[in-house]
């Protein structure tokens, strides 16, 4: 069963035929909200709003461990994360969709592993390729079949938040190879890896990063909602194509 984690701009899936909701409990506390189960193109899907259904949980306070654990416990076999980002790379503009292939983690203080606590053995997971290659391929193929342009590949820089970055920080991130910046990609990705759940991301460029393009002198927040709403329609189409045409990744 495919799990979809929605971020800013995707607090619900309008193309999800909802069957029921489950309030999950985990050894790591409560997830961001109830798990919403339903079908898209006759494939079973579970949806979770990362920031809560009222968008009240800031990025650094999300209980990532509870979220991923709950999805695993309730039958998720694959996870697609949807998140808005700021675009750094010159060819990335508001409204573009990126399927990232790498991560640099700038977060701190977040609970980032299941392998800690008294008596828990130390476990090192391989994180060379942070996103599942096959799930990425299927997302890219689904977009192509739906006629939706995407950017194949990008380095996601996970920042702490909830504030946005300074122009100087964006220059630093660019020097270090970052293409897009967001606040929720870690530790979500590594926790999925620890639980052996294939995980990939769809990044939606909501704005130019600080100091770039339209954001040269500041982020224009009044433009964000319009950009997100238009582009999220294309994201939903990609997800619909993914589960409708590539059910092997969703029904295992």
Is 9's pLDDT higher than 70? no
Q: What's the confidence (pLDDT) of residue 69?
A: 98
Per DSSP, 135 falls in state H
pTM exceeds 0.85 for this model: yes
Dihedral class, residue 206 (left if φ above 0, else alpha if ψ from -120 to 50, else beta): alpha
- Tell me the CATH number at 236: 3.40.50.1580
Q: Which domain holds residue 166?
A: 2-249
Task: Please give the pLDDT value at position 102.
Answer: 98
Separation CA 38–CA 46 (nearest Å): 6
Query: To 10 degrees, what angle do helices 221-245 and 133-145 make?
Result: 100
Q: How far apart are CA 11 and CA 34, in angstroms?
A: 12
pLDDT band at 250 (very low <50, low <70, confident <90, very high): low
pLDDT in tens, 50-108: 999 888 999 999 999 999 999 999 999 999 999 999 999 999 999 999 999 999 999 99
What confidence score (pLDDT) does residue 7 get? Answer: 72
Q: How far apart are CA 180 and CA 106, in angstroms?
A: 13
Kindly give, in sequence order, each residue whose CB lies less than 8 Å from that of residue 71, ignoring residues fewer than 6 positions away: 3, 5, 35, 46, 48, 79, 197
Q: Total domain count for the chain?
A: 1
**What are the residues facing 200 on neighbouring strands?**
80
> CB within 8 A of 235, min separation 6: which ones?
10, 82, 97, 202, 204
Judge contact between 26 and 16, C-beta under 8 A: no
Residues 6+ apart with CB under 8 A from 37: 18, 19, 20, 21, 22, 44, 45, 46, 47, 74
**Residue 71 near residue 77, CB atoms below 8 Å:** no
33, 52 contact by CB (below 8 A): yes
Note the pLDDT of residue 144. Answer: 96
């Amino acid at each position: 069963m495919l799990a979809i984690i929605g971020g800013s701009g995707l607090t619900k899936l309008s193309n999800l035929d909802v069957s029921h909701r489950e309030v999950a409990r985990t050894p790591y506390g409560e997830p961001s909200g109830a798990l919403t189960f339903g079908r898209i193109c006759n494939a079973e899907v579970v949806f979770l709003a990362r920031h809560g259904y009222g968008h009240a949980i800031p990025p650094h306070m999300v209980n990532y461990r509870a979220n991923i654990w709950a999805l695993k416990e309730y039958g998720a076999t694959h996870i697609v994360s949807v998140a808005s980002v700021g675009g750094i790379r010159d060819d990335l503009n508001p409204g573009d969709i990126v399927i990232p292939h790498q991560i640099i983690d700038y977060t701190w203080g977040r609970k980032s592993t299941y392998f800690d606590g008294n008596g828990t053995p130390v476990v090192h997971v391989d994180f060379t390729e942070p996103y599942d290659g096959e799930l990425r391929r299927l997302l890219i193929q689904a977009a192509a079949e739906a006629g939706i342009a995407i950017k194949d590949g990008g380095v996601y820089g996970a920042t702490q938040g909830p504030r946005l970055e300074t122009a100087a920080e964006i220059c630093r991130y660019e020097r270090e190879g970052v293409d897009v910046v967001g606040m929720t990609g870690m530790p979500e990705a590594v926790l999925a890896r620890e639980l052996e759940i294939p995980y990939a991301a769809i990044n939606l460029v909501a704005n130019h990063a600080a100091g770039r393009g339209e954001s040269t002198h500041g982020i224009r927040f009044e433009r964000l909602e319009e950009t997100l709403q238009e582009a999220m329609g294309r994201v939903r189409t990609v997800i619909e194509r993914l589960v409708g045409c590539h059910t092997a990744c969703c029904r295992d």
